[in-house]
Chain A
Amino acid sequence: AQTVTQSQPEMSVQEAETVTLSCTYDTSESDYYLFWYKQPPSRQMILVIRQEAYKQQNATENRFSVNFQKAAKSFSLKISDSQLGDAAMYFCAYSTPNAGNNRKLIWGLGTSLAVNP
């Protein structure tokens, strides 16, 4: 069974600094997708960035980028120039197209990120 592990329950960063959140996953599939979701205090689940496993190039969205290491099954999120609004719980998630009709996301337990002014 696929699993997603986030080893850092809590992290903090100074405003304007860079922080990296870690995620590892376990799967026997070769085709899959990886995601980082942000959950602010409002509890809304917001997609930050996604990575297709077949793409070697790391995804980037403005200040957010990933380091995707397929062989190591590692998928870390780097937040550059951290802002106060980045403070949230961050979830790493996995999905495979080989789950039949189910587009289920498998989630890590999250990393709570605090941004200090």
Chain B
Amino acid sequence: EAQVTQNPRYLITVTGKKLTVTCSQNMNHEYMSWYRQDPGLGLRQIYYSMNVEVTDKGDVPEGYKVSRKEKRNFPLILESPSPNQTSLYFCASSPWLAGGVYNEQFFGPGTRLTVL
């Protein structure tokens, strides 16, 4: 089954304790992206990657890191989480088509993160 998986689905942690949210897709997609969803602010892009070893900042990258060592994986790293990073996080992937042609983005199930 074609899918994007995220782990963990739920996480409660404390300020300053490094954590990683994993994202994996089995569709051989080039493009992957992370969003956070907050009430009243909607979904905002954190980072994106158009292929292995190619990543770039989205709209709200502060406090986050990513890596893309393999095509299928795009982990989100919080080196020193703070309470303002409490949010619902989504990973998404899609084929990257030349010329700006858009293809559907597939979303993971979300990770609910609470930082105390």
Cβ-based interface call for B62 (8 A): no
> B100 touching A98 by the CB < 8 A rule?
yes
Q: Which of B39-82 contact A (CB under 8 A)?
A: 40-45, 48, 50, 54, 56, 58-59
Decide yes or no: A102 and B102 within 8 Å by CB, A44-B109, A109-B40 being known contacts.
Answer: no
Contact with A along B72-116 (1 / 0, CB 8 A): 000000000000000010101010100111101101011010000
Cβ-based interface call for B33 (8 A): yes
Cβ-based interface call for A103 (8 A): yes
> B99 touching A101 by the CB < 8 A rule?
no
> Measured between C-beta atoms, what is the minimum distance from B86 to chain A in Å?
15
CB < 8 Å: which of B41, B58, B101 contacts A102?
A: B58
> A50 touching B104 by the CB < 8 A rule?
yes
Cβ-based interface call for A43 (8 A): yes
Number of interface residues of B (CB under 8 A): 30
Chain A interface residues toward B at CB < 8 A: 31, 33, 42-47, 50, 52, 91, 95-99, 101-105, 107-110
Q: List 26 A-B contacts (CB under 8 A).
A: A33-B102, A42-B109, A43-B109, A44-B109, A44-B110, A45-B90, A45-B92, A47-B105, A50-B104, A95-B102, A97-B99, A97-B100, A97-B101, A99-B100, A101-B56, A101-B96, A102-B48, A102-B50, A102-B56, A103-B31, A103-B102, A104-B33, A104-B48, A105-B43, A107-B44, A110-B42
